[in-house]
């Protein structure tokens, strides 16, 4: 969008707000343990060897903050690449200092061609009608643009069909501006190893690999398995695998028998900012969906659905304060939640853990997601800009 003179957008100017610097007023923090993140990457790398690892860091690294993870990712440039979904994500990764290979796995609009091809990123290709415009944008490059052809093997989302693949490869070969370096698709139900669609997709993809080798005269890098495929379908590791949520120690939905030794590398926490002694019958929050059945203490925490806490967790979820679990009570509001701490010795400023470990107690992301009826991916991806990302370790 073009902005009239004298106006600005969020992308033109980013103010120093909480979650973006160390001086903001935010009192909700997503802490990422960089040492554990590093160990998770090592564990996955060793688990999939000799296949290579493509670490998918789309959607701001699933909400964990791509910029903060770049120093660790740069340690693995020799054997780990990064995958993103959009041109903006690729350019941001470059801008914050990532030095390794970036594969843009999603759709790139022609309006972004001139900008993205200068970045050195590898692009996905599957739209024949866009190839002439892409070739024109690449005319003055010093070396061919490297492409990964995306095949639709059953997801019915993005990708070229198997029938169209040979002709598409011949179209790409007509342009010296391109070099096909990869071939990939996406699994539909990798969390269920017995799903028939896995075998169907495997058959389609192996046919695509055969067609590509025949048309190109060489075999490009092939990648099909996602996090679930890494765990359930080792015969589909092929040349590379794409791992997203598993890198943070989160197991994707499904049934798995073999797991690399990864552990959660994060904690979501806030603090107590207000304390109320409540008489029996007193209601809490909007609509008074909860009433005290006896005299108790209710404390307030400065985080709410604007920060990414699903409102459906009202009167369901819990929080750890002082090493003990306490229930959230009343409806989750935009900026605040309340917890019933009974007669516990709780003070303003006490740490309150929403996801993670405190002492011997723990609230897992998986249990929070199940309680909300969501996938584990959805919780961190929804954490807003008021949530400060803090990186511990080096």
Kindly state whether residues 241 and 326 are assigned to the same domain. Answer: no
Please give the tally of structural domains in the chain: 2
Where among 219, 248, 277 does a domain terminate?
248
Out of 248, 276, 291, a domain closes at 248
171 in the same domain as 145: yes
Q: What would the pLDDT profile of 241-299 be if each residue is shown by its tens digit?
A: 999 999 999 999 998 988 999 999 999 999 999 999 999 999 999 999 999 999 999 99
Which of 248, 274, 299 corresponds to the end of one domain? 248
Q: Do the domain assignments include residue 131? A: yes
Residue 195 lies inside a defined structural domain of this protein:
yes
Residue 209 counted as domain residue: yes
pLDDT-based confidence at residue 337 (cuts at 50, 70, 90): very high
- pLDDT score, position 25: 75
One domain for residues 85 and 224: yes
pLDDT tens figures, 160-206: 999 999 999 999 999 999 999 999 999 999 999 999 999 999 999 99
Q: Are residues 102 and 241 in the same domain?
A: yes
User: Is the pLDDT score of 73 beyond 50?
Assistant: yes
pLDDT at 5 > cutoff 60: no
Residue 58 catalytic?
Answer: yes
4: pLDDT confidence band, cut at 50, 70 and 90? very low
Catalytic residue among 58, 98, 113, 336: 58
Say if residue 71 is in the same domain as residue 192: yes
Same-domain pairing of 233 and 285: no
Strands 351-358, 266-271: pairing kind: antiparallel
- The single residue of 114, 286, 347, 370 carrying the catalytic annotation is 286
270 shares its domain with 124: no
Q: What residue has token string 């990414």?
A: 308
**77 falls in which pLDDT band (50, 70, 90)?**
confident
Taking only the tens place, the pLDDT of each residue in 46-60 is 999 999 999 999 999
Domain containing 87: what range? 50-248
Q: Domain containing 179 — which CATH number?
A: 3.20.20.10
243 and 270, same domain (yes or no): no
Are residue 213 and residue 350 in the same domain, yes or no? no
Same domain, 299 and 227: no
The CATH number of residue 321's host domain is: 2.40.37.10
In a domain, 142, yes or no: yes
Query: 11: pLDDT confidence band, cut at 50, 70 and 90?
Result: very low
The answer on 153 and 73 residing in a single domain is yes
Whether residues 283 and 169 share a domain: the answer is no
**Separation of CA 304 from chain center:** 21
| Any domain includes 26 | no
Domain presence at residue 271: yes
In a domain, 238, yes or no: yes
CA–CA separation, 248 vs 37, rounded Å?
6
The answer to the question of residue 227 being in a domain is yes
């Amino acid at each position: 969008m073009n902005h009239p003179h004298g106006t600005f957008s969020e992308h033109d100017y980013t103010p120093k707000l909480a979650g973006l610097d160390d001086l903001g007023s935010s009192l909700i923090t997503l802490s990422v343990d960089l040492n554990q993140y590093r160990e998770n990457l090592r564990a996955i790398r060793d688990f999939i060897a000799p296949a290579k690892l493509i670490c998918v860091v789309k959607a701001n690294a699933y909400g964990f903050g791509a910029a903060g993870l770049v120093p660790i990712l740069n340690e693995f440039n020799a054997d780990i690449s990064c995958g993103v979904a959009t041109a903006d994500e690729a350019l941001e990764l470059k801008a914050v200092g990532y030095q390794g290979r970036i594969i843009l796995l999603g759709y790139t609009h022609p309006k972004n061609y001139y900008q993205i091809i200068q970045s050195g990123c590898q692009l996905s290709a599957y739209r024949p009608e866009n190839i002439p415009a892409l070739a024109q944008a690449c005319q003055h490059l010093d070396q061919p643009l490297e492409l990964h052809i995306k095949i639709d093997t059953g997801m019915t989302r993005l990708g070229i069909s198997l029938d169209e693949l040979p002709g598409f490869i011949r179209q790409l070969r007509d342009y010296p501006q391109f070099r096909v370096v990869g071939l990939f698709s996406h699994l539909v139900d990798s969390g269920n190893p017995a799903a028939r669609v896995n075998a169907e997709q495997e058959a389609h993809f192996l046919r695509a690999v055969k067609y590509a080798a025949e048309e190109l005269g060489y075999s490009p890098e092939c990648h099909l398995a996602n996090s679930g495929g890494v765990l359930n379908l080792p015969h589909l590791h092929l040349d590379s695998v794409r791992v997203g949520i598993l890198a943070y120690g989160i197991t994707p939905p499904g049934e798995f028998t073999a797991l690399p030794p990864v552990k959660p590398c994060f904690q979501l926490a806030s603090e107590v900012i207000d304390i109320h002694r409540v008489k029996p019958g007193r209601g809490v929050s909007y609509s008074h969906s909860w009433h005290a059945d006896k005299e108790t203490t209710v404390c307030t925490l400065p985080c709410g659905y604007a920060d990414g806490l699903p409102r459906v967790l009202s009167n369901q979820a819990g929080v750890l304060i002082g090493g003990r679990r306490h229930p959230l009570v009343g409806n989750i509001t935009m900026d605040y939640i309340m917890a019933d701490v009974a007669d516990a010795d709780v003070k303003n400023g006490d740490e309150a853990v929403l996801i993670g470990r405190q002492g011997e107690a723990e609230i897992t992301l998986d249990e929070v997601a199940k309680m909300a009826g969501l996938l584990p991916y959805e919780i961190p991806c929804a954490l807003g800009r008021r949530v400060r990302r803090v990186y511990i370790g080096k």
